[in-house]
Structure 1
Amino acid sequence: MAVQLQCAWNLESAMLLQGAVGIGMRTQCVPEGYKECEEIPELRCDSFTNTSAQSVVLIGYEGCDKIPNGHAFLREGFESMNKLAMPMDPINRGDPQRYKPIDWKSAAAIEFFGPGYKTGQFDVYRETIQKNMDRLASTDSAFFLGWRLHVRCDDPKNECSCFDGTETEAYTMHDDKYKDQINFCPRYFELKSLEQAVHADKKDQKNFDVIKKYWNRSCVWAHEILHVSWLGTPANPIWPYMQDQQIEKGGIWWRAYRVLDVKYLAYSRKAQPWEAINNPQNYAFFALANYVQEVKGFYPSAAMWWWPRDDPPDVPSVTSANSGRRRCGEDMALDYAANRTSSV
Structure 2
Amino acid sequence: MHLSYLSPLLFAATVWSEIQSRADLYTRLVGYDGCSCCGIDKIQAIKTAWQQSWDVMDVIRELHIDWNEAAALEFLGPPGFNVQYQAAIQGIINNLGTMNGHWVELPLDWAINVRCDDWDHACDPLSRNPTIAYTVSNGPRGIATINFCDPFFVQSDLFNQVLRGQQSGDYRWKYDMRHYEDTKALTFLHELLHINWVYRGDPYGQNQRVVDFEVEFYDEATSRYRWKDVYGALYSKILARCTFKIMTDGSLYPQCPSLRRPPKTFR
Structures share a fold, TM > 0.5? yes
Is the aligned partner of 1:180 residue 2:144? yes
1:200 alignment partner, one of 160, 164, 174: 164
Is the aligned partner of 1:245 residue 2:172? no
Aligned to 2:10: none
Structure 2 residue identity aligned to 1:257: Y
1:112 alignment partner, one of 54, 75, 85: 75
Structure 2 spans left out of the alignment, 5+ residues: 1-23, 103-107, 219-224
Aligned to 1:13: none
CA RMSD of aligned residues (A): 3.7
Matches within 5 A, 1:1-344: 57-66=28-37, 68-87=40-59, 98-120=61-83, 122=84, 125-140=85-100, 146-175=109-138, 179-200=143-164, 202-203=167-168, 205=170, 206-215=172-181, 216-233=183-200, 237=206, 239=208, 241-247=209-215, 254-266=228-240, 268=241, 270-272=242-244, 336-338=263-265, 340=267
Structure 1 spans left out of the alignment, 5+ residues: 1-53, 89-97, 280-309, 316-332
Cα contact 1:119–1:273 (8 A) shared by 2? no
**Following TM superposition, by how much is the alpha carbon of 1:107 offset from its aligned partner in structure 2, in angstroms?**
3.5
Quote the Cα distance in structure 2 between the aligned partners of 1:108 and 1:162: 35
- Structure 1 pair 176/74, CA: closer, same or farther in 2 (3 Å)? closer
Secondary structure in 1 aligned to 2:32? strand
Show CA shifts across 1:102-148 (max 9, x none).
Answer: 2223333222222222232x2xx121111111122111279xx7411
Structure 2 residue identity aligned to 1:337: K
Give percent identity, aligned residues only: 25
TM-score normalised to the size of structure 1? 0.54
**Following TM superposition, by how much is the alpha carbon of 1:223 offset from its aligned partner in structure 2, in angstroms?**
0.7
Cα contact 1:82–1:138 (8 A) shared by 2? no
- Structure 1 pair 152/115, CA: closer, same or farther in 2 (3 Å)? same
Secondary structure in 1 aligned to 2:211? coil
Write 1 or 2 for the structure with the bigger share of helix. 2
Show CA shifts across 1:38-76 (max 9, x none).
Answer: xxxxxxxxxxxxxxxx96711010111225232222122
Cα contact 1:226–1:242 (8 A) shared by 2? yes
**Following TM superposition, by how much is the alpha carbon of 1:153 offset from its aligned partner in structure 2, in angstroms?**
0.8
Secondary structure in 2 aligned to 1:109? helix
**Following TM superposition, by how much is the alpha carbon of 1:259 offset from its aligned partner in structure 2, in angstroms?**
3.3
How many residues align? The count is 220
Structure 2 residue identity aligned to 1:165: R
- Structure 1 pair 311/197, CA: closer, same or farther in 2 (3 Å)? farther
